[in-house]
């Protein structure tokens, strides 16, 4: 059979490597005719110096290739307005000199997304990542390569939920990371996290977590390596607001935080112990780490995660390079460093898109993926519905997957309003695709899934909205906790991101009546992923399976209930 892989690789007219500086439009036929991608093309790189850093982050337990539509909005405020990563669509393409319709345009933006997805296919797949990692190690030599996992690895799929992350742990062992950090990992609970760390065979780093009783470090802060004859320190930074963004009771004995003063101490200690290169492996988020680069001295490279941003090349902030390597296994980040007289004297960087139809799967990893999924494969592939339109999650304010969840919460729990957390994880379905159990759990596989039904006053709802909005749009990134805006069903509102807290949310309206939300009036609200303990209600994935099955075919209308001003 003549596959998409064949078409892309053997198209009669060769295009440029994969989109930088090559020109053609977004039309499918032109893209198919002009674009030629090969595995060798993806590996082309200006190798430099003695050290290669490989960065893989926020895979969210996606073992197989996926569709993942990049965000349609990614607003920055204050000093971070209008600069990476707060660029989307054609603004992103212009900034990074990427041609519309190219492979990189598809990998990085939502421009003509459905057509481009049908042209270029899925991205990611741990077996494809393994192929690229092994190829780079073979080319550069193991003695020059550090492969680092930025966390959010063990959570986000049906199989990860059912195995408490063991499927990911078993597969990641084959990739042989040199170190990792964490965030959603902690929602497995303290005992399970420690159990995995004792077994996985490489360091779990977190310089910013201490125990509550003695304020002593819970994990190693730093791992030292010699690569290419150069001493490299890797310092770990876990997601600093984990007990706020996720249930504190799951990690009750541990205290988190950004702790820049502790980080500075660890950088100084690493330098004193002979480190010529200091790498921060971080799950802070892009903006937090952009600021951190200006307040902590002596960090050469920050490999950042958490906010799922993908930038084609490292950003220079003073003497520090910052690279964010996307999410869901779509990319592998690479930075090569040249070190002279104990200091970084040159570098090359890139973000390699993992085009699943181009890269030959690694057989060892493919076999392991099949093995860990085998007990669940039949259930994962069970079809519960079909979607007429695209179902996606990313966007600062809404996505059609979350619109669907909000609609299901209202109907199944018989409420006026619904709230769904602004998670950045969750894959995409193209128009006409079946909805499987796998697809559903990619949106809501977590171990605090209860759907509550409560009563809130209009004032309480506004306070919730203002609080989440401040978390997203506070001008000081040290007060941002990641995630997108809480999704809302049954209610419209206007948001002014540049305003101060208390002034961002206005014009709250109950959609079923068209009447304003009154501060003193009480409304029934359904929501899920509460950080409180012992929440009562059905699991969101069970509720949504029932809802989607009853509907059969899903066609979500365009969400026009949220208005954005001042941007």
> What range does the domain containing 130 cover?
45-67+124-372
User: pLDDT per residue over 60-119, tens digit each?
Assistant: 999 999 999 999 999 999 899 999 999 999 999 999 999 999 999 999 999 999 999 999
* CA 498 – CA 189 distance, rounded (Å): 37
Name the domain boundary from 307, 339, 372: 372
Residue 5: pLDDT band (50, 70, 90) is low
Q: Are 285 and 430 part of one and the same domain?
A: no
Q: Are 414 and 538 part of one and the same domain?
A: yes
How far from 562 is each of 389, 411, 465, 496, 506, CA to CA, in Å? Answer: 20, 21, 12, 11, 10
For residue 11, what pLDDT is reported? 39
- Please identify which residue in the block is written with the tokens 């600021």: 291
Q: Are 461 and 327 part of one and the same domain?
A: no
Q: Are 224 and 359 part of one and the same domain?
A: yes
Q: Are 436 and 480 part of one and the same domain?
A: yes
Q: Are 110 and 185 part of one and the same domain?
A: no
Mean pLDDT estimate for the chain = 92
User: pLDDT per residue over 311-334, tens digit each?
Assistant: 999 999 999 999 999 999 999 999
- SS3 string, 476-541, reads CHHHCCCCCCCEEECEEEEECCCCCCCCCEEEEEECCCCEECCCCCEEEEEEECCCCCCCCCCEHH
Q: Is the pLDDT of residue 9 over 80?
A: no
Q: Are 199 and 105 part of one and the same domain?
A: no
For residue 151, give the CATH number of its domain: 3.60.21.10
For residue 414, give the CATH number of its domain: 3.90.780.10
Spell out where 268-423 has E strands.
277-282, 301-304, 315-317, 320-324, 331-340, 343-353, 383-387, 417-420
Q: Are 321 and 414 part of one and the same domain?
A: no
For residue 214, give every residue at least 6 positions away whose Cβ sits within 8 Å of its Cβ, in sequence order, or none: none
Q: Beta strand pairing status for 145-149 and 51-56?
A: parallel
Q: Are 204 and 242 part of one and the same domain?
A: yes
User: pLDDT per residue over 331-372, tens digit each?
Assistant: 999 999 999 999 999 999 999 999 999 999 999 999 999 999
Name the domain boundary from 329, 354, 372: 372
For residue 27, what pLDDT is reported? 47
Report the candidate in 309, 315, 191, 203 with the shortest Cα–Cα distance to residue 254: 191
Q: Are 116 and 137 part of one and the same domain?
A: no
| Counted domains in the chain | 3
- What is the greatest pairwise CA distance in the chain? 71
* CA 266 – CA 278 distance, rounded (Å): 10
Q: Is 524 left (phi over 0), alpha (psi -120 to 50) or beta?
A: beta
Q: Are 476 and 540 part of one and the same domain?
A: yes
Q: Are 192 and 332 part of one and the same domain?
A: yes
């Amino acid at each position: 059979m003549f596959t998409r892989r064949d078409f892309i690789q053997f198209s009669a007219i060769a295009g440029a490597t994969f989109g930088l500086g090559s020109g053609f439009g977004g039309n499918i036929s032109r893209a198919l005719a002009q674009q030629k991608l090969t595995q060798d093309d993806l590996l082309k790189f200006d190798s430099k110096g003695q050290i290669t850093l490989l960065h893989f982050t926020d895979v969210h337990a996606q073992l197989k290739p996926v569709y993942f539509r990049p965000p349609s909005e990614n607003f920055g405020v204050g000093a971070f307005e209008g600069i990476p990563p707060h660029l989307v669509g054609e603004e992103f393409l212009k900034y990074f000199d990427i041609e519309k319709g190219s492979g990189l345009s598809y990998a990085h933006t939502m421009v003509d997304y459905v057509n481009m997805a049908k042209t270029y296919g899925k991205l990611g797949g741990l077996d494809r990542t393994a192929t690229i990692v092994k190829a780079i190690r073979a080319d550069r030599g193991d003695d020059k390569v550090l492969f680092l996992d930025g966390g959010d690895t063990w959570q986000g799929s049906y199989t990860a939920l059912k195995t408490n992350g063991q499927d990911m742990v078993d597969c990641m062992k084959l990739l042989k990371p040199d170190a990792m950090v964490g965030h959603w990992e902690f929602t497995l609970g303290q005992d399970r996290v420690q159990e995995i760390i004792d077994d996985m065979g490489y360091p779990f780093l977190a310089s910013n977590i201490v125990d509550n009783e003695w304020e002593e470090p819970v994990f190693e802060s730093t791992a030292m390596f010699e690569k290419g004859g150069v001493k490299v320190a890797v310092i770990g930074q876990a997601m600093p607001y984990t007990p706020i963004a996720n249930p504190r009771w799951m990690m009750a004995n541990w205290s988190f935080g950004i702790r820049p003063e502790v980080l500075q101490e660890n950088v100084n200690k690493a330098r004193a112990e002979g480190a010529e290169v200091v790498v921060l492996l971080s799950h802070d988020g892009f903006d937090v780490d952009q600021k951190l680069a200006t307040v902590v001295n002596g960090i050469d490279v920050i490999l950042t995660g958490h906010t799922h941003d993908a930038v084609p090349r490292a950003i220079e902030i003073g003497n520090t390079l910052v690279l964010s390597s996307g999410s869901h296994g779509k990319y592998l980040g690479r930075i090569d460093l040249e070190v002279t007289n104990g200091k970084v004297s040159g570098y090359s960087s890139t973000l390699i898109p993992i085009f699943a139809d181009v890269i030959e799967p690694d057989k060892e990893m493919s076999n392991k993926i099949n093995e860990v999924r085998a007990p669940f494969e039949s259930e994962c592939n069970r079809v519960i519905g079909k979607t007429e339109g695209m179902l996606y999650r990313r966007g600062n304010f809404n996505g059609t997957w979350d619109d669907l969840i909000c609609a299901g919460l209202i109907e199944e729990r018989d409420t006026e309003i619904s709230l769904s957390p602004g998670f950045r994880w969750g894959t995409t379905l193209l128009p006409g695709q079946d909805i499987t159990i796998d697809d559903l759990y990619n949106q809501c596989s977590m171990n605090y899934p209860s759907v509550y039904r409560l009563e809130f006053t209009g004032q309480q709802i506004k306070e919730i909205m203002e609080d989440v909005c401040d978390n997203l749009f506070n001008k000081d990134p040290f007060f941002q906790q990641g995630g997108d805006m809480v999704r809302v069903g049954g209610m419209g509102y206007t948001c002014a991101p540049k305003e101060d807290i208390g002034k961002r949310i206005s014009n709250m309206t109950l959609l079923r009546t068209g009447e304003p939300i009154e501060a003193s009036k009480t409304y029934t609200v359904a929501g899920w992923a509460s950080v409180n303990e012992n929440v009562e209600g059905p699991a969101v994935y069970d509720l949504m399976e029932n809802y989607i099955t009853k509907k059969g075919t899903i066609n979500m209308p365009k969400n026009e209930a949220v208005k954005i001003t001042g941007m």
